Structure 1
């Protein structure tokens, strides 16, 4: 959901900036622009002289303007880098013991962890996402527990069985995990 909202907002901001920039460029080149557009000719300016010098005598004005613009640029760069960051780990580097390494697909290990976690008593469904670096992965696990499940027992078994098997098979010294537990919600049914 957040990813979709993020892409829609980015698309709308990009479209608005593209249209405004194109209209300003068209007016600057002397092309026809709509009559309602505030800058219709080459001689129109974006900021009038009176507006430019209005705050000119204030010592704080230009540092504040520069700081706000710099903050906006930094936020835009942070947002761009957040879009490029992967939410999932694509592959894990497994030490094969001979000085070479082997690559294990992240989705394969996620799938195995999910299916093994779902076999645990009291776990209705499991969702696993691997994050981090390929030499030091970390797991985010979401467990949907049945009503009869005991959360402490489910956590211990997940750590001692599923995560231990994953660490052993991938040759990892550690596989930190963040586990989120939720209970199954059953809908009330009418009994006749």
Structure 2
């Protein structure tokens, strides 16, 4: 079963960044371990004294077709540059916060802004008994809206009651207002801690 655009947006993941960081760290770790092995002379004392740019490798490269070697190096360098630039721009790209069109009929268009949706859901969520604060973000796309909620719960709040009221009232009201049957929502709960008291 494929996930919709809204569901992906509601549960936005850092997996690509984590995978790239892990792979980069693994490669750097492997190169560092190899350098230590060579430096300590475990591959032979003579090999440890040789320069980093192996003369044998340089001699082999010099015997190859210089045009082909340079072309391959330039292509690899350009690919790495484009990949790095794409990843950099992707990391800086702000998350879309689309407005939702409730009525597209000519002359009576009705569009609800993403901030208005977030404010309305946040107000309803903060009215739940046991919720001290809420943060809401409207994500997804104009055709497939989604929500991302963070709720801060007071100490001693009944999690089951909070969840039930959130699902049956807050999210149900949001689905009805947006005229959608399904509204993917990612919910994060922050449990409050006991208030500190000063000892006199």
- Structure 2 unmatched runs, 5+: 1-57
Give 1:122 shift: 0.8
SS at match of 1:89: coil
Gap runs ≥5 in structure 1: 1-52
Aligned partner of 1:78 among 87, 90, 94: 87
Residues 153-173 of structure 1 show CA distances to partners (whole Å, capped at 9, x for unaligned) of 212211111111011012122
User: Does residue 140 of the first structure (1) align with residue 144 of the second (2)?
Assistant: no
Partner of 2:184: 176
**Using the alignment, how far apart are the partners of 1:66 and 1:181 within structure 2?**
48
What pairs up with 1:7-156 in 2 under 5 angstroms?
Answer: 55-57=61-63, 63=72, 66-83=75-92, 85-95=93-103, 101-156=109-164
**Matched residue count:** 139
Contact 1:129–1:140 at 8 Å: present in 2 too?
A: yes
In proportion to residue count, which structure has more helix?
2
* 1:106-160 alpha-carbon deviations (Å, 9 max, x no partner): 1011001001101101111000001110111110000001111122321221111
Asked if the contact 2:98/2:140 (under 8 Å) is kept, the reply is no
After superposition, the C-alpha distances for 1:59-107 in whole angstroms (9 at most, x for unaligned) are 8965466334303312312322443x43241411214688964210110
Give TM-score, length-normalised by structure 2. 0.59
Closer, same or farther: CA 65–103 of 1 in aligned 2, 3 Å: same
User: Structure with the greater relative contact order (CA < 8 A, sep ≥ 6): 1 or 2?
Assistant: 2
RMSD of aligned Cα (Å): 2.9
| 1:185 maps to 2:198 | no
Alpha-carbon distance between aligned partners in 2 of 1:154 and 1:61, rounded to the nearest angstrom: 65
Which residue number in structure 2 is paired with residue 158 of structure 1? 166
